[in-house]
Chains A and B, each alone.
Chain A
Amino acid sequence: MTINSPADLEDALRSLTEWSGEYENLWRKAIGALPPRRSRFARFIAARPFMSAAAACVVLAFTAALVSLFTPSLLRARDVALQAPAAGEPAESGFLDKAWLSRSERTAYGTAQPEYKLRVGVADQALSEQEIADRREPTDAARQVIRKASVEVKTADVRSVQLRMAHLIHEGAGEFIQDSSTSGDGANMQAHLTLRIAADRLGAVLTEIREFGEVLSEKLEGEDVTGQVVDLDARLSNEERVEDELLELLASKKDAPLTDIMAVRTSLGQVRQSIEQMRAQRQRLDKLVSLATVLVIIRHASEPPAPQPTGLGAYFMNQLSNAWNHALRRLADTVVGLMWLLVSGAVWWLLLLLALWAVARKIAHGTKACPSPGA
């Protein structure tokens, strides 16, 4: 066959798409080669893997944002409760009512389990604004609070830490060591230290104490003595006024009978004794308020030091053991995280599944009437 004319060319072109072989029955092979049928959703994902992955990421991010926005965190709720004002106490009080620590402090101390006191009550919600305003008196500046703290630390060198802690006080500011004792020896050695430090330095001193070793427990207390102080001042003022009146009476009645003068002097003596007692109480309260008490218990770290690997084999086994422990820990963390994610976002996962199901349904019904499946 040669191509000498356009007609020959057309014939030759027709021959290019002629099948001169036998009928192949390829449809039978096609039936045998038909892969297992997948759902429309699976086919959609298989056909558009990158788009599906991107859509899944967007949906996950959206879900995570919704979960973080609308699912209240337990710790957050607890912190809010801890910071709420207590019944019978002023709001925004500037002292620690009953040992509570910030969340970061609790996290930093690991096993330390301080005592928490939830200070919000249902009855508070019914308080009138006037009552709340009344409870705000006296102001924070005039509030008298006795602060106490106790910290238990563990360290390898009890004696050294005890001595170093003793240097935390500023004697020039009136601070002093109220008590210091040591007992036991070796692994059973422990020391007790009671420091009296300026109340405004309590936070700084506690921070330094925490750096001396591993904190086993920590407790902070605040006792509001404002009421006592106010009452004491009122009584003291009253007694002083009585003393003045008695002195004036004594001066104006010099010609009175001796028995009367003696009676006045006896009363004056009783009043002065009362005044002295109240002044002593006042000074004691002032001292307690101005100086916070910090009780430190220093315990010996009883665990024996980790055996140092000797030789390459021991070192290798030790590192392998550490790696295995870390791997288990990571696995546990991952499982816990996944469970948390699954449980905390259960509602949103359900909504996501429903949305995906709806999208799949829409895709299934939105196919072209005359598709070209091979495209």
Chain B
Amino acid sequence: MNSNIIWLVFTPLIGSAIAAILYRVKFLDRLVTFSTFAITLLLLFSVHVGQSYTFNLNFMGKIIPLSWNVTHLSIFMLYISVAFGTLLTFYSLMDKSRMKGFLLLLILAANNWIFTTNDMVGFFFAWELMGWASIVSVLGGRDENSSRHAALYYAMMSIAGSYSMFFGVFTLWKLTGSLSISTNVAYLSSIVGMHPWWVLGIVSLFFVTFMIKAGIFPFHTWVPMAYAYAPDTFTPFLSGVMSKYGIYGMLLFLPISLMEKGMPAAFGLPWVNYIFMWIGVTTAVVGTVLAFFQDDVKKLFAYSSFSNLGYIVAAISLFSSVGVTAGIYHAFNHLLFKGALFITLAAVISRTGTSKMSEMGGLWRKMPVTFFTFFIGIASAAGIPPFNGFGSKWLIYQAMIKQHLPFATVMLFLASTGAFMYLFKAFHSVFLGQRSARYDNVKEVPVVGQIVEYLLMFAMIFFGVQPGYILKPIGAIVSSMGLKPLPTMANGYVTGMFSNVYVPLISWSLAISFTVGFILFFISAKHKYVSQSDNYTAGQIPEEWNLTPETYQFSWKFYEPIEGIFAPFFRIKIDGFFRGLANWTAATSSAIKEIFVSNAQIYAFFAVAGLIIFVIAGWVA
């Protein structure tokens, strides 16, 4: 018996209780949160692959076995999520937002439970705990009204997902009599040849939940709201870690499609996977296009997250060894760079007090460390070598081309180019260009924040240059799923693909060329630094035209020319569909209510009519 697994769940719960008691004293609350995360990270060293633990819960005379099982996938997810959480809570030690530490610890408990549990009751319970704790966390945003609205919307989507999963759990329990996830997945795999539609139906019940949590098209509508209006230090966790729960769930159920025999294929894939792949590609493209036109910087990166999750889904839906490797690798990379980006945004917002891009600009001189972290973050997100986002994007293309899917690959490439566009927009509008006079006294984040930023920069470069450290555990995950792991060498030299990339070589090439470039820069003629107002203004004197830094900054309607191209698509509102559904439900319910409460005669009429139908039906039968 390896009871240390359940301590992964209990430690955060205890920490959460302490933090809840201390929550009035903000610093103590944050300190307890950080220490609990750190302790959990230490506890992880005692957890190893293959450990399991079972606890029979006696619930009103019925034995419910709660079981834990540590797989390669779970240990990988545990490490990356807890390590990132530790960094984030360390950053938030000096944070002023209204994020509550005990809620984050509840999510951590749920996080550890989700990643280790092997029974559906535990999974469902942890899922609910995570969902509700995060919904309440969203409530503490800067703008109270908006965050309340966002939390409500998120809650509605979450509830819909929970119902769906609840049906799935009970259907499976009814069918097999077992609550174990692995048993049920094996059972579904064994009957998929005979009853493909049944299996598809049951699995989609789960997948709806996972897609809602990961924010996959068409269930993405809560993502921009919740990400944008959540507390600034909670958004990194929401985007970096919590969106991966959906991916984890999908990876649990995806092996079923491997045994696909009864289903026709499309382009070398089972057609369900083919459709799912296109859902992922659509997500990537839609997220990118929507991100172009945002003014709220957190909303822009929320759409960016949504788009990146599309990449992951497209990759894992192929369920080839390259695809799954690329998907998990991108999940890790996305956690790292998007976490870093949202942390730098939290830093900027805490210093400027606004998240509107049109109100910022020119902050790079004032916040150089944050600026460089953001720069490396967007370079990673754009997939530029040698930073960490490159390897996974490259692998995703390889996986797609290997399946001979040129159109999906082209769409992903478009999403990637588009990503470069919106990333540059955010970069320019926040850090470059003219700085308004009201930010003249803005300071760099405190030392604690700078340490976290340096660590994140280091991580983004390190895992970009040495991808082997991540590809090796992913190889173990892939082989534990019954796929052939990629032939990777220690330094991340992936071979056997369409083409080879040896990342350290790129890094050397860049290092040398940058050295040469800087030598040329310093041996050539001298330069002198000038202020930001010393600019070409077509011969006009700025003062005569009342030209201020604010009016000389270009950040409003950044990509106006292409707005017209995408305008027809903006008329389609997924949001509107859900709203329409809600209105229709409300109208129908009130119509039904009318029958009972409006008029006694109408009620009597319906009662008699119902009785007559009942009697006739009984007669005929």
Bound together: no
Name A residues whose Cβ lies closer than 8 Å to a Cβ of B.
none
Name B residues whose Cβ lies closer than 8 Å to a Cβ of A.
none
